[in-house]
A = this chain, B = another copy of it.
């Protein structure tokens, strides 16, 4: 399996604190040693750092922990390979352009008997994971339904994707993070939780390593930051655990839609 981490914020925010916890699970406090990746959005642009080495030993992961990149949307993943070998092309997150936006996706779980379902043509996987193929199929279906221009009401697209995710969940475990750079969607199959931090901010301590942060010193009173993770990253805070089939859509740190 793997672990997911994502962030949606209303101001450019660095994710050093949360990533420091996650990176420990890539070889120290967790078995996810088969690569890792992180995508930062800055405006419509995005950049992804990836490594097929364990995050706990990676020079590039070290850079991410020491060089704060401020971003409004972040998606990260550490991998314990099941389908597909350990290689750069199989390392999440995966990105494709659609409607003049970069869509970025990461998956935790494993699917079975999916080859017949996931027929793709326009979006083709580069690697050989079930995860990337599922992503391509999602986008293929979105284009089939909405065409070559983004619909005015993007929420229709995410509602449609949630229905597709329900179908995928029938094939196995499908915890998913998906973003178009503005919205951030989390879809839960069995393991996903989130926390929204806003004023008044307090302190938090990482579970995986001995680091404490005082968010009050790192933020302004208007900041709203949502962090999504496979498992809670901090003690002393209340994380919302998602139920199977539950999904949430965030924008600028705020929950704007869910399965209700």
A contact set with B: CB distance below 8 Å = 42-52, 59-60, 63, 67, 87-91, 96-97, 99-102, 121-127, 148
Contacts and interface: CB of A to CB of B under 8 A. Distances in A.
Nearest to A128: B44
B123 A45 contact: no
Contact of A48 (B47, B52, B87, B89): B47
Nearest to A122: B148
Contacts of A48: 47-48
A120 to B, nearest CB: 9
Given A47-B50, A50-B47, A63-B59, A42 B88 contact: yes
A100 to B, nearest CB: 4
Nearest to A181: B126
B102 A45 contact: no
Contacts of A42: 52, 87-88
A49 B46 contact: no
Contacts of A123: 97
A88 B122 contact: no
A71 to B, nearest CB: 10
Given A44-B126, A97-B123, 5 more contacts: A43-B89, A45-B89, A45-B127, A47-B49, A60-B63
B124 A91 contact: no
Given A60-B63, A63-B60, A97-B96, A43 B122 contact: no
Nearest to A90: B45
Residue among A42, A48, A90, A97 with the highest chain B CB neighbour number at 10 A: A97
Contact of A43 (B45, B67, B87, B124): B87
B127 A44 contact: yes
A146 to B, nearest CB: 13
A216 B71 CA distance: 44
A167 to B, nearest CB: 23
